[in-house]
Amino acid sequence: MAFLRPGLIATWLLLTASTAFAEKALLPIQGDLVGSMDTMSTRYEDTFADIGTRTSIGYLELVHANPGVDPWLPGEGTQITLPQQHVLPDAPRDGIVINLAEYRLYYYTNGGVKTYPVGVGTEQNPSPLTQTKVTMRLESPAWYPPASVRAEYKASGDHLPRMIPPGPENPLGPYALKLSAEGYLIHGTNKKFGIGMQVSHGCIRMYNEDIAELVYAVPKGTPVEFVRQPVKVGMKGNEVWLEIHRPKEEMDSDTKDFLWRRVMERMDALLDVHPGIEFQRAAVELAIDQADGVPRLVGERVRQMAQAIDDTEQSAKSL
């Protein structure tokens, strides 16, 4: 395994930074739905991995939002959907929230939210469901593989040294955020492919351009919460929006039954907070059948009921 010589590390960092995305937009929070859907026309040489890298969208997000399109050869002039609209997770809107089920990180700041695609742990090495916090910013981090990872490499016939210095061979990329959960980082990567998938040994992997922005924006002590919510339901005004992410690629009857139960649980919880909602069963069924991570309008708070509730709230305020 070849490593970058120390004298070239600065050059590597400069080249990495020079391909940066435009800074992520701070999305205003008005209800539970943020962002907007978009489309683009592909070039002949495009792949979904390339498009994801250019637009900061995860690979599986693009695959699920564009059924029937070959992710490795979409072809010249193919119109594809860019899934850039999201129902916010059911979690405190404070600091960082990582929804493992949708491979996405939400950073709440300055009254809004910035959101980024991430790679998460595999089934064999899952990312933790925990509450933690940021403890340190790391620039040009060296990687010290844990014994379990070195043993895994050894079993497959590869040797992994105890320390890998900064450079293109380092899987942590150019920046990382250290968490108080021992052994876990939010970090960059030395691979273009894998963001928006289960690929890591438990850490959270980001595009280098995204972590380069996030690492300097997040202060020490910022809370970080890991959740797993394949089903998200939220309100925008009187509208009800449903977003579903498939827990596994095969949509068999057991998976659909699981999603139906979760949808019913989320809808019951929403009704406790927003009475008077009417759901459109056909729209809910379509969202479950597709399970493509695209938010869908599935119901509405009945306007008469909504007005009555607003009148009651106004009367209460005037007392």
Kindly list the domain boundaries of the chain, sorted by start residue. Answer: 6-33+84-226, 37-83, 231-318
Q: How far apart are CA 202 and CA 128, in angstroms?
A: 7
With a cut of 60, say whether residue 308 has pLDDT above it.
no
Q: How far apart are CA 293 and CA 44, in angstroms?
A: 26
pTM, whole model, 2 decimals? 0.87
Ordered alpha helix ranges (H), 40-175: 48-55, 59-65, 147-155
* Count of residues in the chain: 319
**pLDDT tens, 31-47?**
999 999 999 999 999 99
Q: What is residue 205's DSSP assignment?
A: E
Q: What is the pLDDT of residue 9?
A: 44
Q: How far apart are CA 138 and CA 188, in angstroms?
A: 11
Instruction: Give the pLDDT mean for 215-240.
Output: 97
Work out the mean pLDDT of the chain and round it to a whole number: 88
Question: Structurally, what CATH architecture does the domain formed by 37-83 represent?
Answer: Roll (3.10)
Question: Which tokens hold the place of 13?
Answer: 């960092």
> Which residues are known to be catalytic?
187, 203
Q: What is the pLDDT of residue 305?
A: 54
* Amino acid code (one letter) for 292: D
Q: What is the pLDDT of residue 304?
A: 52
Q: Are 199 and 212 in contact (CB under 8 A)?
A: no
Structure-derived torsion over alpha carbons of residues 152, 157, 163, 166, reported in degrees to the nearest 10: -100
Q: Are 162 and 146 in contact (CB under 8 A)?
A: no
Q: What is the pLDDT of residue 191?
A: 85
Q: Select from 174, 158, 240, 259 the least CA-distant residue to 212.
A: 174
Q: Kindly report the CA angle at 131 between 125 and 136, in degrees rounded to 5?
A: 85
With a cut of 90, say whether residue 166 has pLDDT above it.
no
Pick from 34-38, 112-116, 206-210, 252-256: least confident: 252-256
Q: What is the pLDDT of residue 179?
A: 97
Other beta carbons within 10 angstroms of residue 158's beta carbon come to 10
Instruction: Give the pLDDT mean for 220-228.
Output: 98
With a cut of 70, say whether residue 319 has pLDDT above it.
no
- Selected residue with higher pLDDT from 313 and 95: 95
Helix (H, G, I), strand (E, B) or coil at 101: helix
Instruction: Give the pLDDT mean for 196-225.
Output: 96
Q: How far apart are CA 245 and CA 127, in angstroms?
A: 17
With a CB cutoff of 8 Å and minimum separation 6, the contacts of 7 are: none
With a cut of 70, say whether residue 316 has pLDDT above it.
no
Instruction: Give the pLDDT mean for 89-116.
Output: 97
Instruction: Give the pLDDT mean for 161-175.
Output: 86
Q: What is the pLDDT of residue 4?
A: 40
Q: What is the pLDDT of residue 11?
A: 41
Report CA torsion sign: 96, 92, 299, 253.
positive
With a cut of 80, say whether residue 116 has pLDDT above it.
yes
Instruction: Give the pLDDT mean for 167-187.
Output: 93
Pairing relation of β-strands 27-28 and 112-117? antiparallel
With a cut of 60, say whether residue 12 has pLDDT above it.
no
Q: What is residue 119's DSSP assignment?
A: B
Instruction: Give the pLDDT mean for 273-294.
Output: 95
What's the CATH fold of domain 6-33+84-226? L,D-transpeptidase catalytic domain-like (2.40.440)
With a cut of 60, say whether residue 195 has pLDDT above it.
yes
Candidate ranges 64-73, 144-153, 304-313; pick with highest mean pLDDT: 64-73
